[in-house]
Structures are given as C-alpha cells and as structure tokens.
A and B are shown apart, each in its own frame.
Chain A
Amino acid sequence: MNRKAVLAIAKKDITSITSSVQLFLPIIVVPLIILILVPGGLLIAARYVDVTETTNMGPILKLLDNLPAGNLKTALDSFTDINQKMLFLFLNYFFAPLFLLIPLMAASIVSANSFAGEKERRTLESLLFAPVDIFSLFLGKVLAAFALSMVMAVVGFILYGLVVNGLGYAIFHRLIFPEPNWWVLIFFVAPSFSFLAILFNVIVSAKVKGFQEANQMSVFVILPVLALVISQITGALLISSKVLWVIGIVTLLLSVFVLRQIVKHFDRNKLFESQIF
C-alpha cells in the first residue's frame, strides 16, 4: 500500500466534493432538514399540541403500552405526560435510523463520484499512469468518502443533541439526549453502514461511465435504512443497543466480504476498460 498516495487521493477527492455546489449542497441541506428543522419543529409544536389528540398516533400509543422491560421502558416510565413519552420515543428512537441517512448520503455521493467523476473529467488515465497500485487507488477513494461521512455523522450528532436538549429542556426539564443506543449508532453502526455503502458505490462507480449512472445505483444502499425506519414506526423492530450491535456486526462482516472481492477481482486493465465500454 502506498500511504502517501492514499492520503493525496483522499484529500483531492474531498476538495473535489467541497468545491462542487451540485455535490456538496445535498450533503449539507438534508442533515439540516433531518437534524435541525424536523426535530426543532416537532419540539416547538409539542408545546402547543397534544399528540394524543392527533388521529394517526394509535399504533404508536399501542406500542408504548406493550413495551417490554428494559432501558426504554424505564426511561418512559419516568415521564408522566404522554406528550413527553411520545417525544422521547420519537427523538431518541424513531430518529435513530433516519439519522443513519446523514453519513450514508455523504458516503454515497462522494463514493459515487469517485471513479465515475474521474472518467467524466478524463482524469482517470492520469491516475492509472501513476506508479500507484490499484488497491491504494481504491483505498484513497474509500477514505475520502468515509472521512466525510464520519465528519457529517459526528457534526450531525452534536447539532442534533444541541437542538433536542436545547429546545426540549422546556418540556422535559432535563437533558434527554443521547440514550445509550446513540453511542452504538454513531461509533459503530454508522461507520459500518457507511463503509459497506462506500465499497458498493466505489465498485459501481468504477464500472459505470458517469456520475449520474453511479448516483442512481447508490439509491439501493438507502433501502435497508428505509426498512429500519418503517420497522421502527410500525413497532416491528425497536432499535435497542443490542439490535444495533447485531446490525453493525452483520454490516461489518458484509464489508469484509466485499473488500475481499474487490482485492481479488479488480485490476488496472478492467478499470481502464470501464471508461470505454
């Protein structure tokens, strides 16, 4: 592995993304909506609206009644007000899979652009003519996407914490965020999910001709997260720390498998030919 080249490629790719409004804007705007506007709006609205009076809360109220013993039940039992319970559940649990979208989206955009962007700019050949092994080239691309997605995860986590605790203090009279599941989410699940998404997207990006094509394919990596969101809301799966550990481990194992396939099957010749055919 060529460490200097890996870092140079990663740095160059991050600069490419941050200097392109078209690419960088969605990475910034979506977190602003999911992590600031929606929870902020919810907390402000909760001061004036009684959630039990809204018509579509039935399944969630049922879920609250049937919760098994554990951290969540203990935490919820500490609140007497149903509004507090609902908000606590929303902000600490239902938002968790949605939060995963933030690093995942950053990872997808950067990694979809990785090789496809080089092909569009006609710079891939310059990289292939350099004395850098293909694995280092891949690693540089992966590192750029991973670093940016982790920065988004951590910054998003802090901002979300400030919004939830800041605006929620008037309702809860104490800090309610983060629950233990968030630490697993931020420091284990988000990195594993992002890593797998990046590997998948980098392979796609290396095989297709342009960014649009790669970006369309990258939508597939969002699907498991949407499944998690739906399962949360319907009560099919409550994302406790234990569940998160399982999800993270499975994702990590899958990543290792994909990485081994990359090392085994990808070479300079194939990468070059992908820009022709």
Chain B
Amino acid sequence: MRKVIAASSVYKSYRKDPVIKDLSFTVSEGEIVGLLGPNGCGKTTTVRLLNGVISSDQGSIEVFGLKPEESGEDIRRLSGVLTESAGLYPHMSGRANLEFFADLYGVEDKGRVDQLLKDFGLFEHKDKKVGSYSTGMKKRLGIAKALLHNPKLLFLDEPTNGLDPEGARDLLVYIKKLNEEKGVTIFLCTHILNHAENLCDRFLFMADGTIIEEGTLAEVEARYLKEFLVEVETDIAEEKLPEELKASFSSRDGNKLVFKVASKEHIPQLLAKLLEVGPVYTSRILGRDLETMYFKIREAKR
C-alpha cells in the first residue's frame, strides 16, 4: 500500500532544547495509526512538522510524497488537523467559524458547512457564539472544521480530551466510519489508550521525542508478552486440579482460576485437561490490552 507519511531520522530543537530525536516511521494509505505517548513527548510537534508549520533541523519528511518545507501548502490542502485547543474564534458563531475556515481552505461547496453542522449535531446551535459552546461542542466543531475540505489524511491531536463517554464514543464511531467509507488515513495522537485500542490498526509508541516501538497490538504482544495469564471460569475446586496443572496455577478469585502459561499454544491443552475434571464456562487471556503493552514497552525501553 502507498506510503502517505514517511519520516526518517528527523530532529527538531527549540532554542537548542531537543524535542524530536531520530524520529522515523511510516504510515500507509487507509490506515488508522495511533501515536501514543505521555504529555510532552513530542506528539504535537510531530504533527506540526508533518504539516510544515515548523521546520525540522535534520532528516527527511514526506507526506503524499511531498516535502513539508517545499510544499507545505499542498500538504495542508490534502490534510485536515484537529489541534488540541480546536483553534476556534469564541466571538464568532459556529457557522461563521466554519465559513471562515471554508474560505481559507478554498471550499467551493456552499452546502458543506451546513452539512457538517448537521453531521455533528450542531445545526441547532449554528448561530450561537462558540464562546458559549460546551467543550464537547467545541471539539465537534473543531473536527467539522478539519473535515471541511474533505481531507485524505486526518491528524487528530487528543480528539477525545474533555469529551464525556458518550461524546467520545460517538466521535470514535464517526472517525472509524470516515476511514472505512471514504478511505481517509487517520493519524491519532492520544494518551487515552482504550480509545486508541478500539480505533487504531497500528500503534507508534513515543517517548522523549522518538519512536520506541511500533506495530499492531498482536505484533507488540508477541514481542513483549513473555507469559500468558489465562483466567478460567469453572466449578473445579483447587484440590481437584490435575497434577500437571498445579504448577501453572497462579491464583483464585471465586470461581475464577488464573493459570500462567508460556505461550498461546499451551492454552488449548490447559482447557482440555480442565474439561477432563469439570466444566469450563469461559476463558480469557489477561493483561493483553494496549495499556498493559504500553507500560511494558515503556519499562523495557527505560
């Protein structure tokens, strides 16, 4: 698949203070990639570099095959950005804000502003000043602003910050739909890991201005999960466990037993042996979520 973003050995300092160090990664067309990392690790700076808002000190960046320093305007015409603060004018109405940015982005479709206001449930509030909007409404308007010109690449910097659970869920659903139906490549910067886990195809783990790990959740799991904790819901008493399973038994919480196995391949064997002595209702692997992986990676790379 065509590479939409390619960054190689990028460095950036602010007044001799290095903020991006040897940054290299790629993003393919149609992917949803999550850039994960703590506050201040360089996520937002990366978005600024990719859009040519700031220039790098060293290294090469290409977005749609274009270099931000030479063709920043072309890149920004193809991409949409939701910044963390949404960047809206509080003294102007929601509609006036979108109309202003539509002019900046050269949007010719006169109905586009109203359509987006409807899509994001803001049409009723279109004439209210943005200063009176709630955080969630501002965020939704910010995304509408980023989508005005139908971008092929969407940068979302902490899009769910400040949203209530319902608002966050609706937004994630919308982003997924946008990706699936229109093929928009999504570059999501966040530290809210469960949102990223539900949405992204692949992850870039960032710390101190550089990518410390990357891959899909399964790839990262294969690299960092050295033993698997399997939780089994069963009526089998601890003393009734087959002898060969006693060594792998780890803990008990009510009718849930937890076993430690070396690899996923051992799980069918474990379950088969348990079924020989009693019923098994459910089973699941513990500690394989993105948050666990995130901390394992950070610990390993420390």
Measured between C-beta atoms, what is the minimum distance from A61 to chain B in Å? 52
Measured between C-beta atoms, what is the minimum distance from B161 to chain A in Å? 14
A131 x B83 contact (CB < 8 A): no
Which of B53, B54, B96, B103 has the most CB atoms of chain A within a 10 A radius of its CB? B103
Which of A2, A8, A133 has the most CB atoms of chain B within a 10 A radius of its CB? A8
B82-108 at interface with A (beta carbon < 8 Å): 83, 85, 87-92, 96, 100-101, 103-106
A156-183 at interface with B (beta carbon < 8 Å): none
How far, in angstroms, from A130 to B107 measured CA to CA in the complex?
12
Write out, one digit per residue, whether chain B residues 51-94 have a CB within 8 A of any chain A CB (1) or not (0): 11111000000000000000011101100010101011111100
Measured between C-beta atoms, what is the minimum distance from B105 to chain A in Å? 6
Residue from the list A8, A123, A130, A272 in contact with B88, Cβ < 8 A: A123
Measured between C-beta atoms, what is the minimum distance from A14 to chain B in Å? 12
Known contacts A8-B104, A125-B53, A132-B104; A15/B92 CB under 8 A? yes
Residue from the list B14, B51, B89, B100 in contact with A129, Cβ < 8 A: B51
A277 x B88 contact (CB < 8 A): no
In the assembled complex, B48 has its CB within 8 A of some CB on chain A: yes
Chain B residue nearest to A268 in the complex (CB): B53
A1-44 at interface with B (beta carbon < 8 Å): 2, 4-5, 7-9, 11-12, 15-16, 19-20
Residues of A within 8 A of B52 (CB): 268
Q: How many A-B residue pairs have CB under 8 A?
A: 75
A246-277 at interface with B (beta carbon < 8 Å): 268-269, 272-273, 276-277
B83 x A129 contact (CB < 8 A): yes
B104 x A123 contact (CB < 8 A): no
B104 x A5 contact (CB < 8 A): yes
A268 x B72 contact (CB < 8 A): yes
B106 x A4 contact (CB < 8 A): yes
B104 x A272 contact (CB < 8 A): no
Measured between C-beta atoms, what is the minimum distance from B285 to chain A in Å? 41
B202-239 at interface with A (beta carbon < 8 Å): none
Chain A residue nearest to B83 in the complex (CB): A125
Residue from the list B15, B48, B55, B92 in contact with A12, Cβ < 8 A: B92
Residues of B within 8 A of A129 (CB): 51, 53, 76, 81, 83, 87
Measured between C-beta atoms, what is the minimum distance from A13 to chain B in Å? 10
Interface on A for B, CB 8 Å cutoff?
2, 4-5, 7-9, 11-12, 15-16, 19-20, 121-123, 125-133, 268-269, 272-273, 276-277
Which 9 A-B residue pairs are closest in the complex by CB-CB distance?
A126-B87, A8-B103, A131-B77, A131-B76, A130-B104, A131-B73, A122-B85, A129-B81, A128-B53
Known contacts A121-B90, A123-B87, A133-B73, then 16 further A-B pairs from the complex at CB < 8 Å, ordered by chain A residue? A4-B103, A5-B103, A12-B92, A19-B91, A126-B88, A126-B101, A127-B104, A128-B53, A129-B76, A131-B76, A131-B104, A131-B106, A268-B53, A268-B72, A269-B55, A272-B48
